[in-house]
Amino acid sequence: MTNEEIKNFITSVAPSATFDETGEWLNVLAEPATWKELAQRLRSSSEFQFDYLFCLTCIDWKTHLTVVYHLSSSVHRHTIVIKVKAETANPEVETVSDIWRTAEFHEREVFELFGVKFLHHPDLRKLILTDDFEGFPLRKDFEDPINMIKL
């Protein structure tokens, strides 16, 4: 499957998506509103079959956050990267844990480290940090004067 075909398909589902092909894989910048449907279509359509979510993480750009999904297909051997924008103040993104089961833990990790709320997640608790931990330590503006020695 060529990048052009994938791009055409994504544009048909989510017209607002933009693309970036400078990296190793096709990058897609998708709007949060269209993301859930796009994810379902990418997973289920027989020509793409993105059945493997091999990385789910988040980036803090200071102005906003992007949740990053790396998808590949074990059938067609193609890979894409999807970035979904979220606001810093109240980041909310639909969960994909019902589509790719592995996302359940990854989303919990992004939730505790970046504070992104994954809507309709079955069990959105902290994963590794203690339950009473306050703040989101991988945010750029995170401060912890007690434990952190700044260089």
Partner 1 sequence: MELNGAMVTDNKEFPGQILQTPGGGIVVSTFDNIINWARSNSLWPLTFATSCCGIEMMSVASAKYDFSRFGFEVARATPRQADVIIIAGTIVNKMGPVLKRLYDQMADPKYVIAMGACAISGGPFFYNTYSVVKGADHIIPVDVYIPGCPPRPEALLHALITLQEKIKSGLTREQIREESKA
The least distance separating partner 1 from the CB of residue 84, rounded to whole angstroms, comes to 26
Q: Does 150 engage in binding with partner 1 (CB under 8 A)?
A: yes
Distance CA 84, CA 56 (A): 11
Tokens of 84: 């979904």
Q: Does 147 engage in binding with partner 1 (CB under 8 A)?
A: yes
The least distance separating partner 1 from the CB of residue 13, rounded to whole angstroms, comes to 40
Residue 46: φ, ψ to 5°:
-70, -25
Binding span for partner 1 by CB under 8 A among 58-66, 79-87, 92-100, 122-130: 122-130
DSSP state of 126: -
Q: Does 142 engage in binding with partner 1 (CB under 8 A)?
A: yes
Q: Where are the beta strands (DSSP E) in the chain?
A: 18-20, 26-30, 52-60, 65-72, 79-86, 92-94, 117-119
Helix (H, G, I), strand (E, B) or coil at 115: coil
Choose between 54 and 133: whose C-beta lies nearer to partner 1: 133
The least distance separating partner 1 from the CB of residue 140, rounded to whole angstroms, comes to 12
CA angle 67, 51, 25 (to 5 degrees): 55
Tokens of 80: 């894409």
Q: Does 130 engage in binding with partner 1 (CB under 8 A)?
A: yes
Q: Does 137 engage in binding with partner 1 (CB under 8 A)?
A: yes
Binding span for partner 1 by CB under 8 A among 4-12, 34-42, 59-67, 141-149: 141-149
Q: Which residues bind partner 1 (CB under 8 A)?
A: 128-130, 137, 142, 144, 147-151
